[in-house]
Structure 1
Amino acid sequence: MARLPRLALAGHPHHLIQRGNNDQAVVVDTADRQMLLDTLGEQAQRAGVALHAYVILEDHFHVLATPATAEALSLWMQAVGRRYVRHFNDRHGRRGTLWEGRYRGTVLQAERYFLPCMAYIDQHPVRAGLVEQALGYAWSSHGHYVGLRTDRFLTPHALYWALGNTPFAREAAYAEMVHAGPSRAEQLMLTEATRKGWAAGDAAFVERLQADTPRRLALTRAGRKPRTQDTSAAD
């Protein structure tokens, strides 16, 4: 089966995952993690991408971001790859590819999946057994959104601002949401949609998006009805 082109739609949030080749480490220490984070943030600004959330793990990273143009995500990830891989190879005396291949991603129905996706990203170190609580992991955007620090490259989404009328109210509401975590159904949707490259949203959302792009957004084209025989024209 031919590989689908990358899913990228301007103005919509996307969840992306980039893994190391053969599950190899993409960061070794704090210096690598900081370099990768700085590169993600700097290149997002240059490419016209609003970076909302991230988590950096040993062998992969997740980001949640909204591109200003359909090309912005690809340009961003290409720039990150070029700059960071050069740093990593030079620093660790290696050569060749670092990434598994092209990144995987999904476009999100914001009102339904944006905040669950943020919680999904922040909870990843907990699910992986690295920490007991999201607060215990330094290399995610969780600390920014609960008021522990300021990540200068992050752009909070309107749905985060709507969590409360004051910074304290927003931070408390978000911390509670991450503690609860996404539902099982939300987690499965985000995992499968990102892995397979389909849109994460309800049928009406997918159908609206499908009208604006020839790229398939679901396993079957949204809105397509089965053909039926017109018996009134039998002769």
Structure 2
Amino acid sequence: MPRQARVIVPGFPHHIVQRGHNRQPVFVERRDFEYYLANLQEWKQAYELEVFSYCLMTNHVHLVVQANDNLSAIPQLMKRLAGRQTRFVNALEKRSGSLWEGRYKISPIDTDAYLLACCRYVELNPVKAGMVDKPESYEWSSYSARVGSSYCHWLDEPDTFRGLAVSHQMRVEAYRKFVEQADGSPSDELIRAAINSNKLTGGGKFVDEIEKRIGIRVETRKPGRPITEK
């Protein structure tokens, strides 16, 4: 079966997942997590990209990154991150070979309807995996910085987050409630299916818009419910 082509759309956020080779652990010690995040900070600034959300699990990485007009920026970011982490781990462990799967997965996101839902999906990974009870308890995701429990000066704030309320504290509380009511969220299945197949995270209108914009046929899926779900 042919691989689904990866689509990058300038001006839209993208959900990215990269897994360890044969799903083996990528991050074992604290230094591994810290090194990856330091490189994420460096290269997202070098390529002038915005990072809205991240989560480093033991054997895979989730990122939500805003694409700019340079279509090579995200591929170069992922190449730099993967290459540096591989060399770092191989040098420490005196090993050789690939640390990652050959291809990362990527899904352009309908900004208004699904961006916050994707950030929530990313940041709830450790909870769903049974690693922590609350997302703020997991050190290696963006959630604690988003809600003010920790500090990450390079984490970017999307317009949809700023649109939640008039003050920052009110926005934080609104986002907390949004994340807490995620149990069984119907958007999760659409997000999961989209990233697993390199498809678009959005409904039919979004698919039509992107097809017209990039001139590539994208298979449509049934629309899921947007972030206004109750």
Q: Give TM-score, length-normalised by structure 1.
A: 0.89
Question: Mapping of 1:179-198 within 5 angstroms?
Answer: 179-181=180-182, 184-198=185-199
Aligned-partner Cα distance in 1 for 2:72–2:61: 21
Deviation at 1:73, TM superposition (A): 1.0
Q: Does the residue aligned with 2:27 lie in a helix, a strand or coil?
A: coil
Cα deviation digits, residues 129-150 of structure 1 (max 9, x gap): 0011111111100011111122
Shift in CA distance, 14/162, structure 1 to aligned 2, threshold 3 Å: same
Aligned-partner Cα distance in 2 for 1:94–1:199: 37
Aligned-partner Cα distance in 2 for 1:43–1:122: 21
Cα deviation digits, residues 127-181 of structure 1 (max 9, x gap): 0000111111111000111111221221110111112222211111111111112
User: In structure 2, what residue type is equivalent to 1:146?
Assistant: V
CA RMSD of aligned residues (A): 1.5
Question: Mapping of 1:1-235 within 5 angstroms?
Answer: 1-68=1-68, 69-181=70-182, 184-218=185-219
> Would the aligned equivalents of 1:55 and 1:122 in 2 still touch at CA under 8 Å?
yes
Shift in CA distance, 82/27, structure 1 to aligned 2, threshold 3 Å: same
Q: Runs of at least 4 residues of structure 1 off by over 4 A? A: none
Q: Does the residue aligned with 2:214 lie in a helix, a strand or coil?
A: coil
Deviation at 1:216, TM superposition (A): 3.3
Cα deviation digits, residues 43-63 of structure 1 (max 9, x gap): 111122211100000000100
Cα deviation digits, residues 165-205 of structure 1 (max 9, x gap): 22211111111111112753200000000000111111111
Q: Any unmatched runs of 5+ in structure 2?
A: 222-230
Larger radius of gyration: 1
Deviation at 1:12, TM superposition (A): 0.4
Cα deviation digits, residues 187-232 of structure 1 (max 9, x gap): 0000000000111111111111101224332258xxxxxxxxxxxx
Q: Does the residue aligned with 1:16 lie in a helix, a strand or coil?
A: strand
How many percent identity over aligned positions? Answer: 28
Aligned-partner Cα distance in 2 for 1:37–1:57: 12
Equivalent pairs counted in the alignment come to 220
> Would the aligned equivalents of 2:51 and 2:66 in 1 still touch at CA under 8 Å?
yes
Q: Give TM-score, length-normalised by structure 2.
A: 0.91
